[in-house]
Amino acid sequence: MAFDVERLLQLWTGSLPDDDEAAAASFRALYVDPVVVNGTPLAARDLVIRARGMRQALEGLEEEVLAVADAGSTVALAFRLTGRQVGQLETPVGRLLPTGRPIDLRVIDVLTLTDGRISSIWMVADWATALTTAGVLRLSGAEPATGR
């Protein structure tokens, strides 16, 4: 049975119950509690906080699956998240204040499944495009090497 990638992404981009425990139960249906994300254990309630934060920060939040490789107990998923940034957004370089600009975030998740639920995630996100669009990061051309 293939892992339900659409259900996973809808958990992050769709609506969640208002009740915190009901929302956490929604995550527990797909994730063990706690789940290990890039080496750090996160409780289901932490996932709820992150999902709500993403929804508050990005208006018109949409996902697009780019690729899936399902090897049974390991699933690699590449996807895009897009939306207009209307709220504060946590990034690897700190909190990004609302810009009103579109955000285009590309993510690769490598999911480890235990008894059909996600027990571990190694996640890499391309924040360069989003941070450049927001004006926080400026990419420049390569500088010529100087020899001595």
Predicted confidence at residue 57, as pLDDT, reads: 95
pTM: 0.86
Domains annotated for the chain, with CATH where assigned, are 5-133 (3.10.450.50)
Contacts 24+ apart (CB under 8 A), 36-42: 36/119, 36/120, 36/121, 37/120, 37/121, 37/123, 38/121, 38/122, 38/123
pLDDT tens-place string over residues 80-96: 999 999 999 988 888 99
pLDDT tens-place string over residues 95-139: 999 999 999 999 999 999 999 999 999 999 999 888 888 888 887
